[in-house]
Amino acid sequence: MARYRGPRLRICRRLGDLPGLTRKKSKKQVRPGEHGEINRKPSEYSVRLEEKQKLKFNYGINEKQLLRYVKNAKKVQGSTGQILLQLLEMRLDNTIFRLGMAPTIPAARQLVNHGHIAVNNKTTSIGSYQCKPGDVINIKNQIGSHELVERNLRFPGLANIPSHLELDASNLTGKVNSIVEREWVALQLNELLVVEYYSRK
């Protein structure tokens, strides 16, 4: 299944604020579609599906990838929902977005794919790379790469850098100090409903 390329505001109107997908805000308050203004009580399946879709669209992953993350989270001891969020938050493309080096997660993935980013002084072109505590993220030593990231740092996607990350704006480097804590996840959702959705499959 290909990555979503369609209208992003339409998704935000349906699922709520998704900071990783787009910075734009819609003036329309109703859900998209012909029946957007009709208030029906959503079914249990519908509620779980929407929570799953929030993760999928915000982090820009497809169904197969998300299912793999859920399976990996179940193998680790602890709350499966929180571990799932930690795995998604520690992706390289999301880490770059949270440092303010890119306005959205798709833009951060493009930076990685085009070879502008190095992790521990090794150029990495895989957006799904799992960052670990102690990893240092820096920008390739090229004028174009530096100008691009400097422009993005002037207008970051989110106001605050989470506590597990550290940014040195003068040297354009970021450091991962620890695993992300639940309260620093920028997405409003109930991760337990996502686990329940996949437990029925």
pLDDT tens digits, one per residue of 8-51 = 778 877 888 888 777 777 677 766 666 556 667 878 888 899 99
83 and 47 assigned to the same domain: yes
71 and 97 assigned to the same domain: no
Percentage of residues of the chain with pLDDT beyond 90: 41
Q: In which band, very low, low, confident or very high, does the pLDDT at 130 lie, cut at 50, 70 and 90?
A: very high
192 and 145 assigned to the same domain: no
Task: Transcribe the chain into DSSP letters.
Answer: -PPP-S-HHHHHHHH---TTT-S---S--SPSSTTTT---PPPHHHHHHHHHHHHHHHHT--HHHHHHHHHHHHHSSS-HHHHHHHHHHTBHHHHHHHHTSSSSHHHHHHHHHTT-EEETTEE---TT-B--TT-EEEE-S-HHHHHHHHHHHHS-SSSS--TTEEEETTTTEEEE-SPPPGGG--S---HHHHHHHHHT-
Residue 70's region, left for phi above 0, alpha for psi from -120 to 50, else beta, is alpha
Query: How much is the pLDDT for 109?
Result: 92
Query: How much is the pLDDT for 119?
Result: 93
Query: How much is the pLDDT for 37?
Result: 60
Residue 174 lies in a domain: yes
Reported pTM: 0.86
pLDDT surpassing 60 at residue 1: no
80 and 12 assigned to the same domain: yes
Residue 3 lies in a domain: no
Domain that holds residue 23: 8-87+187-199
Structural domains counted in the chain:
2
Residue 168 lies in a domain: yes
68 and 107 assigned to the same domain: no
96 and 174 assigned to the same domain: yes
136 and 150 assigned to the same domain: yes
Average pLDDT, the chain: 86
Residue 1 lies in a domain: no
Query: How much is the pLDDT for 32?
Result: 66
- Strand partners for 55: none
23 and 81 assigned to the same domain: yes
Phi and psi torsions of 167, nearest 5°: -115, 130
- Write the pLDDT tens digit of every residue in 142-169: 888 888 888 888 877 676 888 899 998 8
What's the CATH code of the domain at 38? 1.10.1050.10
- Write the pLDDT tens digit of every residue in 42-74: 788 888 999 999 999 999 899 999 999 999 999
What's the CATH code of the domain at 151? 3.10.290.10
Residue 2 lies in a domain: no
pLDDT surpassing 80 at residue 108: yes
55 and 110 assigned to the same domain: no
